[in-house]
Amino acid sequence: MHFVGVPLATLLQIGALAGSVVVVFYILKLRRRPVAVPFEKLWERILRDKEATSLFSQLKRFLSLLLQLALLALLLLALGDPRPAANILEGRNIIVLVDASASMKATDVSPSRIEAAKDEVKRMVRGLSGSDRMLIAQMDAAVTPLSTMTSEIPDLEAAVASIKATDASADFARGLRFGADTLRGLSSPEIIVVSDGALGPAVDAAGPVELGDVRISYLPIGSRATNVAITGFSVRRYPLDKSRYEVMLEVTNTNDEPVDVELSLFGDGQLTDLSQIRLGPKERLPRFYPNLSGASKTLEAKIAYANGSRDDLPADDHAFALLPERRRSRVQVVTSGNMFLEAALLLDEYLEVTTIDPSRYPAKGNFDVTIFDGVTPNVSAGSGSLLYLNPSGENVPFEVGKPVEDTDPNYRLGFDELDEKHPILRYTVLSDVNIGRARPLKGEKEDKVIGKSYKGPILIAGTRAGVKFVALGFDVRESDFPLRISWPLFLLNTINEFVEEDVQYISSFRTGAVWQIPASSAAETATLELPDGTRRSVPVKDGRAIFLGQQAGFYKLSMGQDETTTFAANLVDPAESVIKPATELVVGGRAAGPVGEFKVGVRREIWIYLLAAVLLVTAIEWLTFHRRVTV
């Protein structure tokens, strides 16, 4: 017998002290209080009867002492939590990974897969033996332990009750690594995966997960797989007309039979388009809406069976997107005259352009962007981000080299190397631009070289004291650059990059990823309101709020009373929409076994019975006292 609670030595010390107190009170109870009474012959007979029964009275009081000492001994033993040595050695250490991914919201089992999984885990908890210990963890895009490694049933049941399915896929490899690390060094380790099996391979950036001697068990959840889904939803504005936008939407039929579905689009909560589509077996169908109107802020897409029936997974039947409000960007152009520059800026009606002569710089007011065309004055406050075209002076945050002319018959002066993934080169083709004369530019180590000729960089970007800049090392009038559609695109892309207006897909964030949400660079924390109405405090780093999002819908980020940002998030994962339950789970080439025995029955901890004995002895003492047996 081993004591897994209070150590035996401590119990003996407590017992000696408490036993002494009980005996002292017992002695005090035996003391007689003298009472003066008149003597009569009647009292003589009473005293003789009292002497005849004194031995029995002492025995009764001694029985009371024994009951009190027995009560104390039982309490001390219960504190020690005695258990047989065999039970201590053979107890299992179990980690239960409960899949809380979006597919567990499927309703093919009543009321849902996640609720069925919770019921199964509750049965396992109630069937733990006295020597087993269990830890319950929720597995979605992250792994969240909901309890400690314990055998306490109330704690484990509370952990099970807190499990809630998300709108993200599960990171199976992370869950297994968490389980293996937690069980390292413990006896009889076991990981039980409660899931529908839509987990993918147990591989991450570190390679395949190795479980070693940890036993892996699998409890499958789910019965069928009837589902149609929205697996893609994004919006983009047209680069040259930001009042118009294009919608791309993809729908998928995961069934083996063709289905007829209704696809609805809502702009600002109002129905703007309704169409009926027939999808073939396993078909993924993209749809484009080139000039959808009727929305200014939000877009929502819904898919449903045309006959009114419901599929098994509602989570992927709804998608969200946000149309950011457009504001006019104030642009200051400092030039002696450049028709190509001024004409290109007229293409965007959302630009408020102020053109001034270099001698009159700066203009009144604050600007988002200032374009210096062939001049490099000292930059005044309120100029915003800076675009240098053909810089030649000294008041620039980079070095300007000597002019290089296109006179070498063996080499063409132009863009020989381009960072085509940079935002300011989006939709442009500069590789065949011909340049008559250029000046190589040399920035600092942290600056970005976007375009390079054989003579050196001629297009760079960087930041100085929080101010962004882009520099183009030649006069566009000495090239064929302004004769191409890439010229106005380059200008508008640069301005959009400065004011953080993204003309690419206004795609909502994808659930299950760590989001970097644009926020005020002066803030350290922000308040994020989730689609379900809950609020979270999130950190802000380098002007980006960091958050692991696992709910689909519209979010609101607040950085103060007047500064708020709204954005959307979607579950657009084709693999997660395939909800066919897997009958077996394979990890590292090893098939997971069935879940072992969990019998719901009487708990075998001895301390429970000791406490029951304490209650019984207390009842006996109370009964004998009031019956005047031990008085």
Confidence of residue 24 (pLDDT cuts 50, 70, 90): confident
Q: Is pLDDT at 408 greater than 80 in this prediction? A: yes
Question: How many other C-beta atoms lie within 10 A of the C-beta of residue 203?
Answer: 12
pLDDT confidence tier of residue 284, bands split at 50, 70 and 90: very high
Measured in Å, how far apart are the chain's first and last C-alpha atoms?
A: 37
Alpha carbons 406 and 314: distance in angstroms, whole number: 63
pLDDT at 89: 47
323 contacts 272 by C-beta, under 8 angstroms: no
Q: Please check the confidence at residue 504 and state whether its pLDDT lies above 50.
A: no
Cis peptide upstream of residue 111 (ω within 30 degrees of 0): yes
Digit-coded pLDDT (tens) for 139-162: 999 999 999 999 899 999 999 999
pLDDT band at 46 (very low <50, low <70, confident <90, very high): low
Does residue 422 carry a pLDDT above 70? yes
- Three-state SS string over 278-342 comes to EECCCCEEEEEECCCCCCCCEEEEEEEECCCCCCCCHHHCEEEEECCCCCCEEEEEECCCCHHHH
The predicted-structure confidence for 87-139, as pLDDT tens digits, reads as follows 554 578 999 999 999 999 999 999 999 999 999 999 999 988 877 899 999 99
Q: Above 70 in pLDDT, residue 565? A: yes
Does residue 344 have a pLDDT over 90? yes
Spell out the residues 6+ positions from residue 70 whose beta carbon is closer than 8 angstroms to its own.
617
Give the list of residues 6+ apart from residue 413 with CB closer than 8 angstroms, or none. Answer: 404, 405, 406, 434, 435, 436, 437, 438, 453, 454, 455
* Stronger pLDDT, 35 or 579, i.e. the higher one: 579
pLDDT-derived band at 49 (thresholds 50, 70, 90) equals low
Cβ proximity of 473 and 223 under 8 Å: no
More confident call, 243 vs 278: 278
Q: Is residue 269 classed as helix, strand or coil in its secondary structure?
A: coil
**Which of 199, 63, 41 lies closest to 576, judged by CA?**
199
pLDDT in tens, 159-200: 999 999 999 999 999 999 999 999 999 989 999 999 999 898
pLDDT tens profile 426-445: 999 999 999 999 999 999 99
Is the distance from CB of 354 to CB of 330 less than 8 angstroms?
Answer: yes
Res. 501: pLDDT tops 60 = no
Closest CA to 457 of 448, 467, 466: 448
**Strand, coil or helix: what is 474?**
coil
Contact 399, 464 (CB under 8 A): no
Q: How far is CA 332 from CA 357, 371, 534, 541, in A?
A: 11, 6, 43, 30
Residue matched to tokens 């644009």: 518
The pLDDT value given to residue 2: 65
Mean pLDDT, rounded, of the chain: 86
Q: What is the SS3 assignment for 55? A: helix
- What are φ and ψ of residue 103, in 5° steps? -65, -20
DSSP conformation letters of 381-418: TT--EEEEES--SS-SSSEE---EES--TTS--S-SEE
- 121: buried, middle or exposed (CB in 10 Å: 19+, 13-18, 0-12)? buried
Strand 329-334, strand 351-356: pairing: parallel
Q: Tell me: the pLDDT tens digits for 599-620?
A: 654 455 677 777 788 788 778 7
Peptide bond preceding 391: is omega within 30 degrees of 0, i.e. cis? no
Q: How far is CA 569 from the centre of its chain?
A: 12
What is the band of 550 on the pLDDT scale with cuts at 50, 70, 90? very high
What's the 3-state SS for 189-207?
Answer: EEEEEEECCCCCCCEECCE
Q: Which domains does the chain have, with CATH numbers?
A: 2-81+607-626 (no CATH), 88-224+579-604 (3.40.50.410), 228-317 (2.60.40.3230), 329-498 (3.40.50.880), 509-570 (2.60.40)
| Per-residue pLDDT, 485 | 94
Q: Which three-class secondary structure string do you get for 81-121?
A: CEECHHHHHHCCEEEEEEECCHHHHCCCCCCCHHHHHHHHH
Q: What 3 state SS string does 530-586 have?
A: CCCCCEEEEEEECCEEEEECCCCEEEEEECCCCCEEEEEEECCCHHHHCCCCCCCCE
C-alpha to C-alpha distance for 146 and 155, rounded to whole angstroms: 9
Cβ-Cβ contacts under 8 Å for 631 (sequence gap 6 or more)? 60, 64, 625
Closest CA to 318 of 304, 308, 329, 335: 304
Q: What is the pLDDT of residue 52?
A: 47
